[in-house]
């Protein structure tokens, strides 16, 4: 490993590292940076010398980062973002968003319901800024945020970590999603008996028990789950043509129904409502670009 002296390191190498990590391809990284692929390959050789690690290994699907590269990525990107932020200080009246990106951790129900709206907000308030939506779920989101996998995160249920700042965006409830062809003509609603009689689709990050099972158990009842999935986006394909029902957050049910042939019904089972929170690392709250995206997220949720 070479001597760790920043005076001997070309800081442009960090831009190459970031591009390689995010694109998983030397050719795509070169295209992104506006340089030749041989220049990227030369930079990677130098990066390997600097960090004493392979950093990226070739696989059948491109370049895969090593453990060391994954550890370096959030630190490198934060350093580059600080440099980009410093350029905006040259002319405080001009907002510099080109080359900047903000990563938002969220489950795909929030992405389905609010993603398009947020893209439009950012196009207006921070043109040329790139949003990166990254899949997560409530059990791991706080740790991933602390480990700098995201700049911001949206979650149902809230954050408890002391080093995270948070803001309540709203309150959520549940609704049922079904194929309208499965409903009895003249009976557009579903009572608890009909609800239990149906097969159910569970959306879960890994568990076998959902909030619906807990609510039914409190009444001495149970349901039959025919299948579970980790993604809300799969529901139109899994529900259409079936007698099954999915009980999911109401914001996701409305959005999925609007883009499919499915129908939204009130849930006949009383389920607890939950807070929806936006979280970020407390020490990152001075970055004006992250603040800009936070404000846009709050506006998007305020419209409901």
User: Tell me: the pLDDT tens digits for 161-209?
Assistant: 777 889 999 999 999 999 999 988 777 788 999 999 999 999 988 778 8
- The per-residue pLDDT for 304 is 72
Instruction: Count CB atoms within 10 A of the CB of residue 93.
Output: 5
State what percent of residues in the chain have pLDDT above 70.
92
Element (H, E) at 178: strand 174-178
Give the model confidence (pLDDT) of 127-172 as tens digits.
888 899 999 988 888 888 888 888 899 999 877 777 788 999 999 9
Residue 236 half-sphere exposure, CB side, CA atoms within 13 Å? 14
Instruction: Tell me the pairing of strands 101-106 and 152-156.
Output: parallel
Q: Give the pLDDT of residue 2.
A: 44
In the chain (304 residues long), the average pLDDT of successive 10-residue segments reads 62 91 90 90 94 92 91 87 70 64 92 95 90 90 86 86 86 95 82 95 86 94 94 95 96 94 94 93 75 94 85
Q: What is the pLDDT of residue 128?
A: 86
Q: Specify the pLDDT at position 99.
A: 72
Domains of the chain: 6-80 (1.10.10.10), 95-171+275-302 (3.40.190.10), 174-272 (3.40.190.10)
Q: What is the pLDDT of residue 256?
A: 95
> 88: closest CA among 77, 78, 99?
99
pTM for the structure as a whole: 0.76
């Amino acid at each position: 490993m070479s001597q760790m002296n920043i005076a001997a390191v070309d800081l442009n190498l960090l831009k190459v590292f970031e591009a390689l990590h995010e694109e998983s391809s030397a050719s795509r990284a070169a295209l992104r940076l506006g340089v030749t692929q041989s220049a990227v390959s030369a930079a990677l050789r130098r990066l390997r010398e600097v960090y004493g690690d392979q950093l990226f290994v070739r696989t059948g699907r491109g370049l895969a980062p090593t453990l060391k590269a994954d550890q370096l990525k959030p630190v490198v990107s934060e350093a580059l973002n600080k440099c980009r932020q410093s350029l905006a200080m040259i002319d405080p009246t001009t907002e510099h968003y080109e080359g900047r990106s903000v990563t938002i951790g969220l489950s795909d129900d929030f992405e389905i319901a609010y993603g398009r709206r947020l893209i439009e907000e950012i196009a207006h308030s921070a043109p040329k800024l790139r949003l990166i939506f990254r899949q997560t779920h409530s059990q791991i989101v706080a740790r991933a945020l602390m480990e700098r996998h995201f700049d911001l995160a949206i979650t149902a249920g809230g954050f408890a970590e002391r080093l995270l700042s948070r803001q309540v965006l709203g309150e959520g409830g549940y609704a049922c999603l079904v194929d309208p062809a499965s409903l009895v003509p003249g009976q557009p609603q579903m009572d608890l008996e009909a609800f239990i009689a149906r097969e159910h689709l569970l959306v879960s990050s890994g568990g076998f028990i959902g909030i619906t099972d807990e609510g039914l158990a409190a009444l001495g009842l149970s349901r039959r789950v025919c299948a579970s999935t980790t993604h809300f986006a799969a529901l139109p394909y899994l529900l259409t043509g079936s007698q099954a029902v999915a009980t999911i957050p109401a914001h996701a049910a409305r959005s999925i129904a609007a883009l499919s042939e499915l129908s939204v019904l009130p849930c006949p089972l009383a389920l607890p409502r939950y807070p929806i929170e936006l979280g970020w690392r407390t020490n990152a709250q001075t970055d004006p670009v992250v603040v800009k995206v936070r404000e846009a997220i709050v506006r998007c949720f305020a419209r409901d």
